[in-house]
Amino acid sequence: MAVYEAAIETIAHMTLEGNRTDKYRLSVGGIYAPKDGRRKKEEKPPLALEHFLENHPEVTQIEICTNNDGPGRYACETMKRTYRDRYEILINLPEREGADYADLSKEAWEKKEKNRMER
């Protein structure tokens, strides 16, 4: 299963992966990260993810697909610490610093359109 910050990023990443339907994809509806980047005493995992995992015991792997920015990386590390003892964790953040999958999907579409127009 793959976890995203927002629904648009879920759809965008699926588009970039050729509309593959081989895994669950879940938007957690936003993430939390402290402004100063310091860990709080008690970090809580996303409620949507907790609920999903409780209802899908067949899930053995979590692919974390948060944004590649400070808050996204913080949320990624928090989820990794929370779930690493119970699930295989894959980190799949966008390669470019500051990007999210919606950005990458838009750029891929623009490149495809440019190539199409040049023909």
Contact 88, 51 (CB under 8 A): no
Q: Rounded CA gap, 113 and 119, in Å?
A: 10
**pLDDT value of residue 17:** 94
Q: Rounded CA gap, 49 and 79, in Å?
A: 10
**pLDDT value of residue 41:** 58
Predicted TM-score (pTM) of the model is 0.87
Upper half-sphere CA count for residue 12 (Cβ side, 13 Å): 22
> Which residues of the chain are modeled with pLDDT < 50?
none
> What radius of gyration, in Å, describes the C-alpha atoms of the chain?
16
Contact 3, 65 (CB under 8 A): yes
